[in-house]
Structure 1
Amino acid sequence: MKEIKFDGRYPSVDDLRNHAIKKIPKFAFEYLDGGCNNDVNLIKNTKEIRDVELIPSYLDQHLGSDMKTELFGHTYDAPFGIAPVGLQGLMWPNAPEILAKSAFEHNIPFILSTVTTSSIEKIGEITQGKAWFQLYYPAKEEVRQDILDRAWAAGYRVLVILCDVPTFGFRPRDIRNGLAMPPKMSLSNIIQILKRPEWAIKTLKYGQPNFQTLKPYMPKNLDLAQLGKFMDDTFSGRLTQERIKPIREKWKGKLVLKGVANEKDAKSAIALGLDGLIVSNHGGRQLDAGESTLMPMKRIAQLYGDQIKVMMDSGLREGPDIARCMASGSQFTFLGRSFMYGVAALGEKGGDHTISLLKVQLQQIMDQCGCAKTADLKNHLKL
């Protein structure tokens, strides 16, 4: 078990966020920090989680708390993992490698996104095949199958398929910043980079970020306009039941559907033979007029929690948020921005610091409530 030790100068995720603002260019921070449209759903996600109250237990005997949580035949050291995040290397150079290594050492799951900046093979090597892989649905069957073959060969045994991106979210900050991959070198963006010399130097060291997993399928020397067309042509958007069926037939490991936001889709996932759901609204980055993640998760967990693993992401920031979601019915949780704030703020030490911080926070909540294990948190939910 990895020693739990964090930097006392940054004892909260808000501290990490405030430091991250000073470390990375504005266009990269706004991509990480923002939601879509007017950020209504982004704000609501965290607010409604934090409206959940827990009831402590002080006079009953309590011999200690154990955060270990079994999921898909593996016992993790904590009931949370690192959610998939696109363009991680844009926000901090080498970020996916840093976070994957920390996740492996702390024995929690790391989910690699198709559109982040490290390859299936590299993360598989770092995690000894213990990582999960998130698939954006490719339009071409040969590309889809090759990606799945690569993931299996690299040791991945949990595949996460994404259903909440039938269209890309409307994100005003990114439009204003001209965000692309690589970012457009407008005068404003160049000035932002010059103000962040450590980020610039490390970017030179590790190379310009790009879509490493997709490189074998991309024509060489794409300009920005061609890259956009390639992405539109490669990913056909809406993930239907008919598109899930052949993936279920071919993938021999655990199959998880991410982006579920209603009971109907959850019921369909069970009928298709999936192993788990991640109730999610993409961190509030897709549908500003939608529900917070907590609300559908509670309903889905109540209806189907005994038939399929119900997990969630979106809106969780700190250890108490993990406890609130577990108490509300989630069997496991994932955080994205918290870990990216950590690595942007502290670089190579950011992953270890953030995981350790969340573990300490969650342990304190469990001890206050008198929970011997994470499954006991539901017994302390204030109804």
Structure 2
Amino acid sequence: MDGAAILEQLMTVAGREDPYPLYEQARALGAVTPAGEALLMTVGYREVNEVLRDGTFRVPDAELRGRWEEGFADHSSKVMFSRSILERNEPDHSRMRSLIASVFTARRIAALEPAVVEAVHRLLDDMADQGADGTPVDFMDAFAYRLPVGVICELLGVPAADRHLFRALASDLTVSLEMIAEDSELAAADEAAEELAGYFTALAARRRADPRDDLVSALVQVADADHGRLSGSELLANLVLLLVAGFETTTNLLGNGLTLLLDHPEAAAGLRDGTVTPAGLNDEVLRFDSPVQLTSRISLANGQRVGETEAPYGSMAVLLIGAANRDPLRYEHPERFDPTRRDSRPLSFGGGSHYCLGAQLARLEGAVALPALLTRFPELAPAGPPVRRDRLVLRGYQSLPITIR
């Protein structure tokens, strides 16, 4: 197959289920391959990393998408993401990101560790009760979703009674980040965007009247103090992004990680006896089966290149992160799951100015959760085949049945 055919196959049900054989077919064509009109399919680690860090390549923002994507402005889900730091270029990106980073600080995240530990053990207690008689437990529902959604909601200041609302809404909303989606899926994404915008409009109003020690209160105060630095629509879009990104990626990290540990009992044994570190496990899960499989950048200057390939004005580099993380020029035996690797540096959290703000939080949750899970349940075992979500960009499981005794 040529590059265009491979990219087309990646968007099929089979391609979304297991993209890795297609990545290897793409790699056989080169680190960078034309894949249709103005598309450059990029699978090399060095090439993907360079583009991510090159500020002269642009993310597809509202102006660009409105120019080239028919019907873009008709979808509130797509418009919402375009108002957030996820899909903004300079100078807007730095303006918004600096404000969010001023309250979403490394110190604030590091201080969460005791609360994360407490939440992990509380969820493990619940799992122990649920599966005490050998009844299968769905790890995705009982743990992988509940831990990160609880943590990010605590940070944001979302009341505990509301947290059950967000899994289905986020699942619907994030369809709009996929390369293709059915009309019915986009309609559901738009409904989710409107519901989430309404929710955070109300929560921001409550925190404006009665501030608390949480991110919503802090960002409302920042927005109100200088209206030119963060508009009302930008505030809402970034609150929704913080919520969704705060648990979607980590949920997938936990589910992908447990599946790999079940498939590789030697790695699970190493985690229990200390020969595998939690940080090493995190990095290898992120590398081997990345929760984020692709992103894109657009060339808007003359003379730009993706690796050794010319990137004409208006061309899009489709950055296949999942493929780059298995590049044999970067990793020895990349097809092996090996959490003892050193200097892994997977590209799963992006790079450059758009590096994921929540990376430290996701790593903290993964480092606490998976070792605690295996220690608490030494006889944990699969109770049936896991079911993947039908997605390419955000790769994870819908269900993962296990027994804990």
- TM-score bracket, normalised by the shorter chain, equals under 0.3
More helix by share: 2
Q: Structure 2 length as normaliser, TM-score?
A: 0.23
Q: TM-score, normalised by structure 1?
A: 0.24
Q: Say which structure, 1 or 2, has more relative contact order (CA 8 Å, 6+ apart).
A: 1
